[in-house]
Structure 1
Amino acid sequence: MSTRVGALLIHGLGGTQYDLGIMHKALKRAGIETHAITLPGHGTQPEDLIPVRAEQWLDAMVEQYRTLQPQYDQLHIMGMCMGALVALALCERVQHSAAQGKLVTLAPPIYIDGWSTPWYAPLRALLYYVPGVGTRMKVEEGEPFGIKNSLVRAVVKAKFERGDNFHYRWVPMICIRQVDRLRAWARRAAAVIKAPTLIVHAREDELTSLRSAEFLQATMADARTVVLENSYHMICVDNDREQVANSVLEFFGFPPMPVRSRERRARRPADEAGGEGSEVEGLE
């Protein structure tokens, strides 16, 4: 009897399933059933994030996990950016172990200390307590949009300008407080998680430095790290996206993406970008 394998994918702050780029397709092609939900406050308008608390994001994923887990021989958990923090907290809450599946953290922002972080970022905690400021102040999503690849970055910029609802252009400052709370939960969870864990992090991540990956590697019981050399923060859509996909597939015990498919993508001209297999696969 064949083993039934599923994967629960968790997007980042202000994002949607498109944060995971080609991961859904890569996993499905390998025979892994993927599942994703839109976290509370997402997929509508940025203002809807104002009243949302981190507990709601975690509770939504716990409910999804408990619904799916009995259906699979293995249910893996994967999170991107804030989704990686949720994934860590989720594993602690449900006591996810090797018997249930594995854990993948993609660009986990345990520390917000990347090269584009402004010097005054640590002072944001003071703004949380100034009446009205946290709800009115916007944290803009600006260039390079976490993307080193100039073609993909241009596509993302055009999508923002068109108003496509694949990712919020800004988030309220007050919801960063909830991310900070998740970061604390994730640091605590890392010390007790027993599930085998893969950490994938770009050396040039502008949001969160390799210090985050190093912390998880040093703290978790069973972890391995893949460092990417040609991407910024959005690693599932950037230059190293195929290395990300293949690292995850190997970690889950599946063969890498077919070489023929990779070569065909490399030959696709830039003016065809946007469809399956193109430079921006996963963003359409």
Structure 2
Amino acid sequence: MIQNVEFRFEGGRAGVLLIHGLTGTPAEMRLVGKGLNRAGFDVYGMQLAGHCGDAEDLLATGWTDWYDSVKAAAERYAAGLDHLFVAGLSMGAVLALKLAADRPDLVKGVGVYGATFRYDGWATPWYGKLSFLLPLIDRLGIGRKRMVYENEPYGLRDERIRAQISSLMLGGDSAAAGLPGNPWPSLAEMYKMAAVVKRDLPKVTAPCLIAHATEDDIASVGNAHLVERSVSGPVEMLLLEDSYHMITIDRERRLLIDRSADFFGRIANTTADGARAAA
């Protein structure tokens, strides 16, 4: 059964919508959310459709359902704000970019954390690196019950945090730590979405903070450079050298929080100054 584990930290009139990754949970965005809230931002950690339950709950949804839940959350949340920012981890970063491409009127800035268009990190097994073939396999109706399981180091360089998260995940607490692997059909859906968003990246005109681990074990830094060279808006890069994929909870999370707060704050101040000048 799906558990609702969304969170909201109330703050000012500038808000950040946080989007977790595939098979993940809002918990992976919570520390960043707390940090941004301490910096004065309102924060909403949303929950993607089909997540925080079991594999069958996830398999009942596809990428358009995940994106629809992002759109609905953003539109609801923005109604009470002057400035809406969106930040996502892994597949959540891809969803954030899709929203920015579709709603340039709504999204004022994007935090692109460990963007995953392709699973090609150094710890991805050889068969995982062939997962771009899954949309074809899915069309053939093969492998609905199959799953690509997570491997050590589970996206975490910090061994203490890794032990905590892997214990929860392997113990079946999907609301706290996500599923222990990615069902083949869900991976196929992720790749279908990635293809759409790649084509849409030039439509992203909002400023982007692109943060990525240089030694990302799940999605290589090439994913970040794809975003950097494809979006139309201004870009700031933050390459993290002491983290793996889960940069929102790994060793350099405080640096990520500080840079994100500064990035979103500068945009909010510039926008407010422009509005005052126009008045």
Q: What is the TM-score of this pair, normalised by structure 1? A: 0.83
Structure 2, gaps ≥5 residues long = 1-10, 267-279
How many Å separate the matches in 1 of 2:28 and 2:50?
Answer: 16
Aligned to 2:23: 14
Match of 2:206 among 195, 202, 208: 195
CA contact (8 A) 2:157 2:244 kept: yes
Aligned to 2:34: 25
Match of 1:206 among 201, 217, 221: 217
1:187 partner letter? K
SS at match of 2:215: coil
Q: Deviations over 1:198-242 (max 9, x none)?
A: 000000001111111111111122111100001110011111111
CA contact (8 A) 2:86 2:96 kept: yes
CA contact (8 A) 1:46 1:170 kept: no
CA contact (8 A) 1:8 1:34 kept: yes
How many Å separate the matches in 1 of 2:116 and 2:48?
Answer: 18
Match of 2:194 among 168, 183, 186: 183
Matched, 1:227 2:234: no
Q: Which moved more, 1:66-75 or 1:162-171?
A: 162-171
CA contact (8 A) 2:214 2:221 kept: yes
CA contact (8 A) 2:118 2:191 kept: no
Q: Which moved more, 1:69-78 or 1:160-169?
A: 160-169
CA RMSD of aligned residues (A): 1.9
1:199 partner letter? I
Matched, 1:106 2:116: no
Q: Give the 5 Å matches for 1:149-164.
A: 149-164=158-173
Q: Give the 5 Å matches for 1:133-172.
A: 133=143, 135-165=144-174, 166=176, 167-172=178-183
Matched, 1:92 2:104: no
CA contact (8 A) 1:3 1:73 kept: no
How many Å separate the matches in 2 of 1:96 and 1:179?
Answer: 26
Q: Give the 5 Å matches for 1:45-56.
A: 45-56=54-65
Matched, 1:81 2:127: no
Q: Deviations over 1:167-195 (max 9, x none)?
A: 11123111001110121122122211110
Q: What is the TM-score of this pair, normalised by structure 2? A: 0.84
How many Å separate the matches in 1 of 2:18 and 2:237?
Answer: 19
Structure 1, gaps ≥5 residues long = 255-284
2:166 partner letter? K
Q: Which moved more, 1:154-163 or 1:3-12?
A: 154-163
Matched, 1:215 2:223: no
Aligned to 1:281: none
How many Å separate the matches in 1 of 2:40 and 2:184?
Answer: 40
How many Å separate the matches in 1 of 2:142 and 2:210?
Answer: 37
Matched, 1:251 2:263: yes
CA contact (8 A) 2:147 2:181 kept: yes
